[in-house]
Amino acid sequence: MSEYKSTKKRPTAIDLHKRLIAEVKTENPWYYEVSKCAPQQALRDLDRAFKNFLTIPKRGFPNFKKKGKKDSFYLEGSIKIIQGNYIKLPRIGIVKTYEILPSCRVKNVRISKRADNWYISFKYDYQPKPTPKERDVIGVDVGINTLATCSDGTKFANVKAYKQAKKRRTRYQRRVNKKELGSKNRAKAIKKLAKIHKKVADIRADALHKVTTWASFEPQHHCN
């Protein structure tokens, strides 16, 4: 921010990359042992964040990305899907995935971490198959007391496991607040809290998916 005030110029991704090589890589040789794509994409993301800050109203100054919060990195190059649930990544090698991957060409991937789990995401061309409409238009209101209320009167209650997980999340949040800042015990408590946050989000996402599937598809009525 101080540099921008003095020069009135926004640092571009190229400018930042030159500074990375001159000021950081020279003092940290391990940078050359990992893929160059990760820091380059991080600088492009920072460049876009600066641009948004200076051109879009009410956009705040870019925040420093702390280790352990929304960890992710970008890779491109020699990427290949092997045997359904294996993928070959640059520098890392062959990785086994939990789900079967589509048979397609992959140009780049973004790998992110949630709690103790790592996720890989990428774009590919997908041709959707149209499905016949089996119901009229229906409205769905997602609420707090009930998971969803439909315009035809159908109600979906909140999942019991979701309520239990939310209570556990509150308890673990209190434990984190009681731990000393910077201590190992606090780090452990934060790790446990992250797992609960993920569980709550996964339960709600699964429940919403079932509701939207029901709203989109209705079993056909057969006449005798």
**SS3 readout for the chain:** CHHHHHHCCCCCHHHHHHHHHHHHHCCCHHHHHCCCHHHHHHHHHHHHHHHHHHHCCCCCCCCCCCCCCCCEEEEECCCEEECCCEEEECCCEEEECCCCCCCCCCCEEEEEEECCEEEEECCCCCCCCCCCCCCCCCCEECCCCCCEEECCCCEECCCHHHHHHHHHHHHHHHHHHHCCCCCHHHHHHHHHHHHHHHHHHHHHHHHHHHHHHHHHCCCCCCCC
**Does residue 17 belong to any structural domain of this protein?**
yes
**Does residue 130 belong to any structural domain of this protein?**
no
Instruction: Examine the domain organization and report whether 148 and 100 are in the same domain.
Output: no
Instruction: Examine the domain organization and report whether 35 and 85 are in the same domain.
Output: no
**Does residue 148 belong to any structural domain of this protein?**
yes
Instruction: Examine the domain organization and report whether 211 and 150 are in the same domain.
Output: yes
User: Quick one: pLDDT at residue 100?
Assistant: 92
Average pLDDT, the chain: 82
pLDDT digits over 181-224, tens only?
888 888 888 888 888 888 888 888 888 888 888 777 654 433 33
Residue 56 vs residues 38, 48, 51, 194, 207: alpha-carbon distances, Å:
26, 11, 8, 32, 36
Instruction: Examine the domain organization and report whether 211 and 154 are in the same domain.
Output: yes
**Does residue 60 belong to any structural domain of this protein?**
no
Q: What percent of the chain lies above the pLDDT cut of 70?
A: 92
User: Quick one: pLDDT at residue 220?
Assistant: 43
Please say whether the dihedral angle defined by the alpha carbons of residues 46, 205, 105 and 87, taken in this order, is positive or negative.
positive
**Does residue 221 belong to any structural domain of this protein?**
no
Which whole number is the average pLDDT over 35-53? 87
**Does residue 66 belong to any structural domain of this protein?**
no
pLDDT digits over 88-143, tens only?
999 899 999 999 999 888 999 999 988 888 999 998 888 877 777 666 777 778 77
Domain count, the chain: 3
pLDDT at residue 78 above 50? yes
Instruction: Examine the domain organization and report whether 156 and 211 are in the same domain.
Output: yes
Instruction: Examine the domain organization and report whether 24 and 86 are in the same domain.
Output: no
Instruction: Examine the domain organization and report whether 173 and 205 are in the same domain.
Output: yes
Instruction: Examine the domain organization and report whether 147 and 209 are in the same domain.
Output: yes
Is the Cβ–Cβ distance between 56 and 64 less than 8 Å?
A: no
**Does residue 65 belong to any structural domain of this protein?**
no
* The two three-digit tokens of residue 121, written as one number: 């995401």
Instruction: Examine the domain organization and report whether 144 and 116 are in the same domain.
Output: no
Instruction: Examine the domain organization and report whether 49 and 87 are in the same domain.
Output: no
Structural domain of 113: 77-121
